[in-house]
Chains A and B, each alone.
Chain A
Amino acid sequence: MFNVTQSVTGTIFDVKEFTVHDGPGVRTTVFFKGCPLTCIWCHNPEGMDTAPTLMVRNTQCTGCGLCCRPCTHADCRPFGRCLHICPKGLVKVAGRAVGAGELVTKLSAGAELYGAGGGGVTLSGGEPLLQPEFARAVARGLHENGIHTALQTSGFAKADTFASVLDTVDYVLFDLKLAHEDDHRRYTGVSCVPIHKNLAHLRESGKPFVLRIPLIPGITDTDENLTALSALAGDDPVELMPYNPYAGAKYPTVGKVFRYELPEETEERSPETLAKLFRRARVLR
């Protein structure tokens, strides 16, 4: 039978095995390249643009200058840097095209392990919904191989796009960031209206899901926002994700500036007080 998964190609920027915060059980997460949002706290800046992104892990750079010399490789041309010369392997491009079939085969290698522990594969990013056809193909392929598939999404997509990908996955990790439209636009660059619409659809679909809230001190982690998000979450399960102090680490490697600054006076909330704000929340550690 013709297998649709073989023919679709997409762009990913990473595959990470044994990701313990991306859904139930032992999981592998595949990171789709490109995101319509521009959250200022995003810790994966190399995943934001749809186009391939040059990454130079410059903390270990010796300044030898080899990568700045002109070279003849076609694939280096867009970046103005040579990708094939750094003695320490520090110059890389985030974002590579991959066929859905090839990706499914690779991700299916651990099937026996996933099956044993109620785990599987999580499609994350960036934003998988930016590549809906690819996301569907990968999810279907995994499904055929008996692998539980989760979608980790900002929820920002057209309603039919969201619905079509939702149909192909077993579980959803749905991000909620800011309850108020103005704040949402200000810190993520987009409106939260489509997100709330898709959330409504998700609820109606009956698919198991969890709402995920990043706790960004001074932005999402305010009494006002969390109270509002709590009302939005209602009785649905919530995972609260504490701020990672290394979040800005990758910005210099992609030549971007991490605009988020941790407020000087951040009040430490205990997991218990945080959880109390919600009806069904747990704090990821």
Chain B
Amino acid sequence: MTETLYTMIRNRAHRAVRRAPLAEIAHEYAHLGLSPIERMTRRFEMLCREEIPVILDAGEKILFVRTVPNLPDIFTEEEWAERHRDHFIHENGYVSNLSPDYATVIAKGLDAVRAETDCPETRRAIDALCNLSDRYRDYARENGREDAAAVLDVVPHYPARTFREALQFLRILHFGIWLEGSYHNTLGRFDKYMYPYYAHDTENGMTEDEALDLVCDFFLACNKDSDLYTGVQQGDNGQSLVLGGTDADGREVYSDLSRLCLRASEKLNMIDPKINLRVNRNTPLSVYEEGSRLTAVGLGFPQYSNDDVVIPGLEKLGYAHEDAADYAVAACWEYIIPRVGADIANIGALNFPGVVDTALHHSLKNAETFDEFMADVRRAIGEACDAIIASVDRADVLFTPHPLLNILFGCDISKGAKYNNFGIHGTGVAIAADSLAVLRDHVFGDKTISKEAILAACDNDFMGQEELLAFVRSECPKMGQDNDSVDEIACDLLHTFSLALRGKTNCRGGIWRAGTGSAMFYLWHADALGASPDGRRRGEPFGTNYSPALHTRTDGPISLIRSFTKPDLTETVNGGPLTLEFHASVFRDPDNIPKLANLVRYFVSRGGHQLQLNTVSKETLLDAQAHPENYPHLIVRIWGWSAYFVELDKPYQDHVIARQEYSL
């Protein structure tokens, strides 16, 4: 990776190579009465033709950069409306959020894959991609880049032999599936499937610096087109990869290559790819230290996943051991199995505070004891889960076909794969637990708050009830303070959630998975809800993912970790991390790296499933909000991904700033 290329990508100067947007095509496709697969294939062929080979810099080793800025939709609005009427359309209807099997294709070469397939559209898609690649090769050769041309002589037609060829092949495939219109499909267990090529080259004299340089080049490539990738906010683009963990036989995957990846990410200091680190009880402290050095950079990753919780959790849900052991992390945090998983991990979300609100309005009046009321809350959780299931299962789930993407799954992935499970997030569990603790202790317990008073307060947003508000909000115990009396309610809620889904099947023959994530629901759910008995005012968002209420004040990360590792998290392996916020000053001293490493290991040893660590200072954020022009590179973690702070909408910015409260 050369300095000029790095600077160019960082300053977004490479975007100058982009052409004008392509015109709409859906009406013509509709007019011709083309089938969905024909449309996907035609569009892909057209896009590959329209792409122009570009080499951004004489030192650019991993080629392929988008010049076409948009993918014209294949269906007209009316056609989409029709599809929505007759089917369940997940998100925007294209396949997303899975973990493709790049390794098999990289080892075979596209010519062999083409020969094996009996799907004519897949052959056309492969031909289109190979054609584009051949044009890149010729362009490189004409421009004196024999090194790059020689790589493209081999890949993607033939199996990759070297580390560079494998990386270039991966780049082409990843570029290709985005261009085909699928999105948020991750890079998977990069250090596992790239290791053979890395080891081959290392044995043949590749130095550590050369290897690092190639990894940097590849990582940098992930930042070239990322603004074109769909998401709720800039940065939400699903380019995550997983390092470490074990294989099916329990062997450690973490290697020198994993270490290089962490270093490359540290060196690049850019938001892609997002790094997930799989750890377990045998992971040495040195690995956490390497991870912590990356945390100190302030990118908001690595995000940690605990094999000791996730693997047994997935097995409980029916995943075979070898599949569970191979788990990767989808775009944000959802656990997904490479190749065999067609799970839709984010199909809905249970709103825990919403459930409490329902019970509050329906059964508080008549409940004589807290246990009675809690039974109603559990029932309401069951009903809410059933409602989510019914809303999805009212029709079949329909995706557009993806002839190219299919080769990375060895099947028609739009129809599903070995695992077709649906995941449901669980938002605001801390707020629900805090609220229930107030009801238990003061409405049913010492009766200092009457049922009418708490109901009225929630309905009127505590107007004129300031003393009650101050009491429940600031003086009652909260999840995150390592207080068993609150935390046990959270345990109950999460357990109930997982039980409510147990044994239920979905329309694709899969099962339902419970999670602790929130995605954008932490804002959406909160918006739709009045005040909560814990003193959360109307309109105040929940904490993101698996985190305390925003107004919770704790003594620090030890209490937080202890609170949030009490539930049996093997039951909520749809994923959803606890987020710890650290003031940037903590990491100015390299002596503090081992301290952070110990803290993360503590989280893992206590049975946490997933952990995110953020480093930003509130002063910086406020200043960035006031002077965005001074902070083009300031990175924060939003829910499952990192983003440039100044590119976020104000409510998201405000939320990040508010989150800082409990870190100070």
Contacts and interface: CB of A to CB of B under 8 A. Distances in A.
Interface of A: 15-18, 20-21, 25-26, 28, 66, 84-87, 89, 109-110, 112-113, 116-117, 119, 246, 284-285
Nearest to A25: B595
Nearest to B482: A109
Contact of B470 (A16, A28, A87, A113): A87
A143 B551 CA distance: 34
A116 B462 CA distance: 46
A117 B462 contact: no
Contacts of B594: 117
A18 B592 CA distance: 10
Interface string B463-477: 000110111011100
Given A112-B605, A113-B602, A116-B598, A17 B466 contact: no
A112 B602 contact: yes
Nearest to B473: A89
A89 B470 contact: yes
Most chain B beta-carbon contacts within 10 A, residue among A28, A86, A117, A119: A117
B555 A26 contact: no
Given A16-B556, A20-B595, 10 more contacts: A18-B558, A28-B558, A84-B475, A85-B467, A89-B470, A89-B473, A89-B553, A109-B562, A113-B598, A113-B602
Contacts of A15: 555
Contacts of B605: 112
Nearest to A84: B470
8 contacts: A17-B555, A20-B595, A26-B595, A66-B466, A89-B553, A110-B602, A113-B558, A119-B598
Contacts of A28: 555-556, 558
Contacts of B595: 18, 20, 25-26, 117, 119
Nearest to A246: B619
B181 to A, nearest CB: 45
A89 B551 contact: yes
A87 B558 contact: no
B207 interface: no
Interface in B591-610: 591-592, 594-595, 598-599, 601-602, 605
B154 interface: no
A85 B470 contact: yes
B556 A17 contact: yes
Contacts of B471: 84
Contacts of B467: 84-85
The 10 closest A-B pairs by CB, nearest first: A17-B556, A89-B474, A117-B598, A285-B588, A17-B558, A113-B602, A285-B589, A110-B558, A20-B592, A15-B555
B8 interface: no
A20 B586 contact: yes
Contacts of B557: 17-18
A113 B557 CA distance: 12
A85 B462 CA distance: 12
A17 B551 contact: no
A193 B606 CA distance: 48
Interface string B455-467: 0000000100011
B559 interface: yes
B556 A87 contact: no
Chain B interface size, as a band, is: 20 to 34
B555 A16 contact: yes
A113 B606 CA distance: 10
A158 to B, nearest CB: 32
Nearest to B557: A18
A26 B595 CA distance: 5
A17 B585 CA distance: 15
B598 A25 contact: yes
Contact of A20 (B466, B562, B589, B602): B589
B466 A87 contact: yes
Contacts of A87: 462, 466, 469-470, 473
Contacts of B588: 285
Contacts of B556: 16-18, 28
Contacts of B601: 116
Interface string B567-596: 000000000000000000110110110110
A2 to B, nearest CB: 27
A13 to B, nearest CB: 12
Nearest to A284: B589
A116 B558 contact: no
Contact of B466 (A26, A85, A109): A85
A246 B586 CA distance: 15
Interface in B459-504: 462, 466-467, 469-471, 473-475, 482
Nearest to A66: B466
A79 to B, nearest CB: 15
Given A89-B470, A116-B598, A109 B589 contact: no
Most chain A beta-carbon contacts within 10 A, residue among B559, B598, B605: B598
A116 B469 contact: no
Nearest to A19: B556
B470 A86 contact: yes
Contacts of A17: 555-559
Contacts of A16: 555-556
Interface in B144-196: none
Most chain A beta-carbon contacts within 10 A, residue among B551, B557, B595: B595
Contacts of A113: 558, 598-599, 602
A25 B605 CA distance: 18
Contacts of A66: 466
A75 to B, nearest CB: 12
Interface string B187-209: 00000000000000000000000
A113 B285 CA distance: 13
Given A20-B589, A66-B466, A84-B467, A109 B558 contact: yes
A168 B591 CA distance: 27
Contacts of B586: 18, 20
A262 B551 CA distance: 33
A246 B594 CA distance: 26
B134 to A, nearest CB: 53
A215 to B, nearest CB: 15
Nearest to B603: A113
Nearest to B590: A285
A16 B555 CA distance: 5
A117 B600 CA distance: 11
Contacts of A20: 586, 589, 591-592, 595
Contacts of B599: 18, 26, 113
Nearest to B598: A117
Most chain A beta-carbon contacts within 10 A, residue among B462, B466, B473, B592: B466
Contacts of A85: 466-467, 470
Nearest to B467: A85
A15 B466 CA distance: 28
Nearest to A113: B602
Contacts of B589: 20-21, 284-285
Nearest to A83: B470
Contacts of A117: 594-595, 598
A112 B585 CA distance: 25
A68 to B, nearest CB: 13
Contacts of A25: 595, 598
Nearest to B462: A87
Contacts of B619: 246
Contacts of A84: 467, 470-471, 475
B101 to A, nearest CB: 38
A30 to B, nearest CB: 10
A50 to B, nearest CB: 22
Interface string B542-565: 000000000101011111001000
B478 to A, nearest CB: 12
Nearest to B588: A285
